Structure 1
Amino acid sequence: MAEEQKLLGGDLVAEMLKREGVELIFSLSGGHINPIYNGCRNRDIRIIDTRHEQAAVHMAEGWARYTGKPGVAAVTAGPGVVNALPGMAVASQSGVPLVLIGGRSSLARRDIGAMQDIDQVELMRPLTKWARQVYQAERIPEYVAAAFRQAVSGRPGPVFLEIPVDLVGEDVSGTKVRYPSAYYCESRPCADSKDITLAATMLREAEHPVILAGSGAFWSGAAAELRQFAESTGIPVYTRNMGRGCFPENHPLAGGFFPIGLMQADVVLILGTRLDWTVGYGRPPLLKMSTKTIQVDIEPSEMGQNRPVEIGIIGDVKAVLQQLQEEMAGAAMKMEENWPVTIQVMKEAARDSALQGTDQEAELIHPARLCRELDEILPDKNMLAVDGGDIAGFAVLTMKALSPSSLIWIGAFGHLGVGLPFGLAGKLAHPDRPVTVLTGDGAFGFTAMEFDTAVRHNIPVVCIIANDGGWGQIRRGQKRDFEQTVGVELQTTRYDELARIMGGQGFYVEKIAELKPALEKAFASGKPSIINVRTDPDTGFSGMELPWKIN
């Protein structure tokens, strides 16, 4: 008689991850999750161990942003889960699918003062689409499958699965375990045909139509459909958040990042993006109340948020674009002939505005000039993760995204410290492509020790730090409003020397002419590198006044 197969609960977690196609997880070790580590190692699932749980969750989010698939993080009980909360808040606000697995004290010692015990599910509930605890070890695969399904269904988002330590360490009979299969719906929600006809008519009749595409275009994989639809109709396209690069920003119909053309639009096709502060809440002065809107979103609660919507379509962006393409094939457009040219002029004016008032001969480098230079010299197929305040504002306005995931930014939540974790995840997801992080010195400090993670795991990202020796955005506001500053000054630390001490490469740049040679050496080294760029702490912000005033 064959010996009955015995598996630990941690093996069941790892086996289900393997069946989901998970290649690696991001984690910081702890006793409550040791059996999961063992199960992953035995199944060739790589563990990228970080220096902080927050960074592990940021990396899981970064993996999702660079692959379109849920990232996975695992953290130990109590403090480990608490440290992961900021990362889950970011993923929740950004609508990014990830699965966080948390350890917990044993069921047997619940409510008697066990070590590191806290009600983690209730902590996570406001920040997740779905949060659950497992109560039976043999049901672990069911819960793991449910976690992945919940993360990607409808509008994507983070989920939390708590597994007590006695369950991950429990011996389970293989005969009692059921591994779920075929638990995803492959069909895409489509629009009602009447709504498609109405939308197509409105777009055909418009003189100044515009497409505003956001993260929904990325998560639905609609880049090809978006380009086909724009080119067949001639309608200009603005892209937002994860939508950036779904329509290449060097295309004649691309409006770039800041949608200033909305001011003159008469019809706007909104594809999977929230009308939040980054687009002036969809209200005047950026978007007139007389402008007609067609809103496409997978999430019904977004319809009519912040402004009335003429046509609301609940559906998948890719599927709806395919329907619109079929409906409008060969249709005559009443769009003004020079409208796309007008959008191009606006785009270049917005990009150039960031350089207003800059002195080309100044001793220190203006952050806008740094961004424009990088936009010219970064390698082909480079993927850029942007982090920070001032430097991020200049970067997202002046730098181009040419393909999906080629330029990612935290977006509306404004959370700092994501740059290096996102960059590490990007390089792990695409080892054949150059990956660059552009961050402020303040933002870098939040997750600076993840440079050690890069060195230990040989992840050769290039991190460019715009070092103005302080919290520049806040410092400028204090000077403007109070004519004095407090709590906003940092040292102009030699982060390049820190990189070398930690086993990477470091370069110091004070003149713009030194940037390209430093960048070439950093990429050629094949090591994690920091390029520490001394930037002007007294720059004006005139080039960014319009976006911020509108919002």
Structure 2
Amino acid sequence: MSHHSMKTLPKQISGANLLIQALKEENVELIFGYPGGAVLPLYDALYDADIVHILARHEQGAIHAAEGFARVSGRVGVVIATSGPGATNVVTGLADAMMDSLPLVVFTGQVATSVIGTDAFQEADVIGITMPVTKHNYQIRNVEDIPQIVKEAFHIASTGRTGPVVVDLPKNMMVELGSMKEKVEVNLPGYQPTYEPNFIQITKLLQAIEVAEKPVVLAGAGVLHADASKEFTEFIKKYNLPVVHTLLGLGGYPANEELFLGMGGMHGTYTANMAMYESDLLINIGARFDDRLTGNLDHFAKNAVVAHIDIDPAEINKVIHTNIPIVGCAKEVLKVLLKQKGGKENHSDWLNLLKNRKEAFPYHFEESDELIKPQTVLSHLHKMTNGNAIISTDVGQHQMWAAQYYPLEKPHKWITSGGLGTMGFGLPAAIGAQFAHPEELVVAIVGDAGFQMTLQELSIMKEHNLPVKVLILNNAALGMVRQWQSAFYNERFSSSLIDCQPDFAKLAEAYGIKGITITKPDLLETQLKEAIEYDGPVLIDCRIHQGEIVTPMVPPGKGIHEMEGVK
């Protein structure tokens, strides 16, 4: 017998089982998905694997749930969808995760390699379709590559500026046999995110802070993605700097602290916007200068030296000319900044001005005894939950009211679709968050319109007895569309009023979930409390005043100093 044949060949297992083993290497315990023909070999392997699979009722529900899971846990959300329509149904979620930097690995089924390109049954060009909305994508063409590709996919999704990665799985690749490698190493020379800042730039920033008379810090979701709230809070207190948050950055710094000026941008606070407008030093940490934040660029922070700290170099100088660019991870940059000696401050007049403005120009609305006001609902919710709930929202007026009237004092409790503004996001995202934190109170604040885009996911709440509280701020309208038509289109409410609505409480009951309808202002507090304290899933249909608008507002095309509806 030749010496060569004495070697035992590595054990051959199916591609599907290779994939399962690779997922276990990444400590995946939970997958959201929906089976179909092209992924049946993978689902067959999942049958024996000790990984929990959550069956969504629509692939959009699966991917938004994975986003909610990723957002509050910091872990990679994992999704499986079948080929063709299964894969195209996750495209919205991929675009959403890409815009908001959420780490996902999405496995899509694909027809067998022998028929790719023949318009086979349920075939779609997943690689072509998803390329613009993923951080990276792969198609498995050799079963032996599975362990390597899965390892890389998780590495890319969860490092640098996090984001979604797609792995396309031709059906035959799940059936063919391959072997596990001893050790899979990631070697991606073209992908080396910078974590540590350049020290010269750090020195420049510290000098700028020392001479600034009107400094302000703008903090985005980058602070949260880096899990840097603790360092961020220390940095703010060390240098006594006022803080403005983007919509997605909320919770990064406690909203009840004096140095917090509020959210900036279109529906932000007057104080926050004027602070950015008048500043002589604007320090952006992990925000991308989105147009909803900046308003008309001709009027944004025109007199400011701009420092921009971001892990993604492509964001720096993309929108706003930057004087002090610092590429690096927010946590690492803040650690370096905290090690340096603090300079003297010369901005106490500025802090006094901001403090007075904050008192003079809070968010405000007209209270009412006859009508249920959404702002009142959210203020009650905040009080009942001590501001401690995990809040997910859909997109529209209710989202802005939640950002304004449910101030966040802790990080990783706020899940909202920012960049893409995806209706239907709120309910499944709350479900994903509840799976990540079974012991916490999770409230999905949704509008009646967005809720109807993914309401089928109520099934998951029932099936897994998830105690998510779904709060519908029901104004029988596409509220934000109606508000814009009211302000800019002469009240021509084209397709924005919903005349025919289901009875949402009955709908919940049809799913086996407790439903509550709130119509009377004097019963609001009692009914809301009952719903929040109920042990199990609840849907609350809260009928709010249709004409209520989100204020204040920077009208489109205006500068952030030109806010309307300020007290």
Q: Same fold per TM (> 0.5)?
A: yes
User: Do structure 1's residue 127 and structure 2's residue 133 form an aligned pair?
Assistant: yes
Which of 168, 176, 182 does residue 170 from structure 1 map onto? 176
Q: Deviations over 1:88-139 (max 9, x none)?
A: 1111111211111001000122233421112110111011111110111122
Letter in structure 2 aligned against 1:191: P
1:28-51 CA distances to partner (integer Å, 9 max, x unpaired)?
A: 111222232333343311111111
User: Percent of aligned positions with the same letter in both sequences?
Assistant: 28
Q: Equivalent residue for 1:75?
A: 81
How many corresponding residue pairs? 541
Match in the other structure for 1:545: 553
Equivalent residue number for residue 332 of structure 2: 319
Whether 1:334 aligns to 2:346 is yes
1:420 corresponding residue in structure 2? 427
What secondary structure sits across from 1:100 in the alignment? strand
1:401, distance to aligned residue in structure 2 (A)? 1.2
Alpha-carbon deviations, 1:142-165, whole Å to 9, x = none?
111111111123211111100111
Equivalent positions of 1:435-474 (< 5 A) are 435-474=442-481
- Which whole-Å CA distance do the structure 2 matches of 1:187 and 1:368 have between them? 42
Partner deviation per Cα, 1:267-320 (whole Å, 9 max, x = no partner) = 1110011011121258353x3311111111111122222222111111111111
What is the 5 A alignment of 1:389-400?
A: 389-400=396-407
Alignment counterpart, residue 297 of structure 1, candidates 275, 286, 310: 310
**Are the structure 2 counterparts of residues 509 and 31 from structure 1 closer, same or farther at C-alpha, using a change threshold of 3 Å?**
same
Equivalent residues in 2 for 1:134-283 (5 A)? 134-172=140-178, 174=179, 177-181=181-185, 189-258=195-264, 259-260=272-273, 261-280=275-294, 283=297
**Cα distance in 1 between the residues matched to 2:237 and 2:181:** 52
Whole-angstrom distance in 2 between the partners of 1:348 and 1:390: 24
C-alpha deviation, 1:213, in angstroms: 1.0
Report the residue type matching 1:538 in the other structure: G
Structure 2 residue runs without a partner (length 5+): 1-5, 265-271, 561-567
Deviation at 1:518, TM superposition (A): 2.9
CA–CA distance in structure 1, aligned partners of residues 105 and 198 of structure 2:
33
5 Å-filtered alignment, 1:473-484, equals: 473-480=480-487, 481-484=489-492
The whole-number CA distance in structure 2 between the counterparts of 1:49 and 1:138 is 29
Contact 1:467 1:492 in 2 (8 A): no
Could you tell me how far 1:365 is from its partner in structure 2?
1.2
Structure number having the greater helix percentage:
1
Structure 1, unpaired ranges of 5+: none
Change (3 A) 1:483 1:401: closer
Superposed displacement of residue 478, structure 1: 2.8
CA RMSD, Structure 1 to Structure 2 (Å)? 2.4
Change (3 A) 1:130 1:178: farther
Distance in 1 (alpha carbons) for counterparts of 2:181 and 2:59: 30
Shift of 1:182: 6.7
For residue 526 of structure 2, the aligned residue among 501, 511, 517 is 517
Report the secondary structure of 2:90's partner residue: helix
Take 1:503 and 1:154, find their aligned partners in 2: how far apart are those partners?
43
Q: 1:540 to 1:163 in 2, by over 3 A?
A: closer
**2:514 matches 1:505:** yes
* 2:494 pairs with one of 486, 492, 499: 486
Partner of 1:534: 543
- Alpha-carbon distance in structure 2 between the residues aligned to 1:161 and 1:82: 14
- 1:271 counterpart letter in structure 2: I
Tell me how far 1:25 sits from its aligned partner.
0.7
TM-score by length of 2: 0.90
Shift of 1:516: 3.5
Moved more, 389-398 or 184-193: 184-193
Cα distance in 1 for partners of 2:333, 2:9 equals 54
Match of 2:376 in 1: 369
Structure 1 contact 441–465 (Cα < 8 Å) conserved = yes
Instruction: Please tell me whether the aligned partners of residues 297 and 559 of structure 2 are also in contact (alpha carbons under 8 angstroms).
Output: no
Tell me: CA distance 1:187–1:293, structure 2 relative to 1, closer, same or farther (3 Å): closer
CA distances 1:176-198 after superposition (whole Å, capped 9, x unpaired): 54552577999962222211111
